[in-house]
Structure 1
């Protein structure tokens, strides 16, 4: 689905990532680790076409991103759901309307999808908060709303950038269970996190590959995690 071949990314004259080679295959589950500033968010942005490699080849659903136009990248990104670290919402819209926003942007009939949206809100445990405004949500509720918005288009790949960074342990476990459930439905999942406890908790529930960015390169993490 997403394939890196000797990919590098430079910014401002400095190389942030170097010689990255990996594949996200259908149904796989990955954790992406590394210290703050190591390039985890940059790698995720490459995965969904927000950034273009400065060297090497990056293929998304078989297409080299360097050869794709803006519209082609936008179409490919409909198959990729992203849970951003900062969870940005439109504060004047309800949680339900924020979750449904990707359907409106893609010109889909939101009215026909309302039953599915209701099920999705129930799945993330936000049925009672559907008509609240984003500033009224707790940190955990915002993260669950972000996850619902990321999967509303039924993407093939879910990318989550530090989804448990601002929530307590109990809520982080709930979010992890939701992501594992998506994986069991056949979705490819990659979670960027510095929380080794979260990774250890997941290992008993899902077969996950743990990748670590170190010195600008991607490595397979050891079995000690």
Structure 2
């Protein structure tokens, strides 16, 4: 698998469909995410936002059509190829999973540890401070609130400075002030050239972010993906 970082399209869907349990969740989805682009993904609950996110990094495979990530067909990748692809993608899941026996700081640094890289104590402290978790760095995940876990998940997703960040409702359990701080982190990463895709139902968050960065808004409606109008 080629991983040069010079791809013209980091994620490309060509007439993608996904079915589960006999029902079609997504149909005829075509999507191109260029390097350095910023997209929001919105739609009603259950419309397929999480499914689309999972298709972007090979957690799910399309039942029709083609998904290319970093110019490679996801379906044709070997296990090593999938691992190499995922090292370049940071994912913030709705259901944040952590190792409960490790303190927060070690959980956030885990992607570096697994890849054999040492986490800079200063960089880790800065990241935890930015997401408002520095005072909790020694606590275990079961001691954290839902919002604190979500912030930790975002910190963990970006600690390796991936090329692409996929975030599924990253601000769903935090207040407005923290939502803005988290979005500032994502905006800064985008300005560094990172590709951002955020699934959210928060239209106010979308509007406030669009005033700072040229974000495009995608909407899932009736299993199809469409570009949202200027009303957003």
Shorter-chain TM-score above 0.5? yes
- TM-superposed CA distance for 1:130, in Å, is 1.3
Residue aligning to 1:21:
30
Give the aligned partner of residue 101 of structure 2.
Answer: 92
SS at structure 1 position matched to 2:101: coil
1:169 to 173, 176, 179: 176
Inter-partner Cα distance in structure 1 for 2:130 and 2:34? 26
Give the match for residue 70 of structure 1: 79
1:178 is aligned to 2:185: yes
Counterpart contact for 1:140–1:171, Cα < 8 Å: no
Moved more, 86-95 or 136-145: 136-145
Equivalent pair of 1:100/1:149 in contact (CA under 8 Å): yes
Counterpart Cα distance in 1 of 2:172 and 2:123: 28
Residue 82 of structure 1 pairs with residue 78 of structure 2? no
Give the structure 1 partner of residue 60 of structure 2.
Answer: 51
Q: Secondary structure at the match of 1:224?
A: coil
Name 1:40's counterpart in structure 2: 49
Residue 201 of structure 1, CA deviation = 1.2
2:194 aligned with 1:187: yes
Q: Is the 8 A contact 2:130 2:181 kept in 1?
A: no
Gaps of 5+ in 1: none
- Aligned positions of 1:196-215 closer than 5 A: 196-215=203-222
Cα distance per residue 1:7-33 (max 9 Å; x no partner): 111111111111111111111100000
State whether residues 121 and 130 of structure 1, in contact with CA within 8 Å, keep that contact through their aligned partners in structure 2.
yes
SS in 2 for 1:77: helix
| Aligned-partner SS, 1:100 | helix
CA contact (8 A) 1:94 1:132 kept: yes
How many residues are aligned here?
223
5+ long unaligned stretches in structure 2: 1-9
Instruction: Return structure 1 stretches of 4+ with deviation > 6 angstroms.
Output: none
Does residue 151 of structure 2 align to residue 134 of structure 1? no
- Whole-Å separation in 2 of the counterparts to 1:79 and 1:156: 5
Compared CA separation, residues 169 and 118, structure 1 to 2 (3 A): closer
Q: Report the more deviating stretch, 167-176 or 16-25.
A: 167-176
Quickly say closer, same or farther: Cα 1:51–1:138, change in 2 above 3 A: same
8 Å Cα contact 1:102/1:149 also seen in 2: yes
Q: Does structure 2 retain, via aligned residues, the 8 Å contact 1:99–1:152? A: yes
CA drift at 1:41: 0.1
Greater Cα offset, 120-129 or 179-188: 120-129
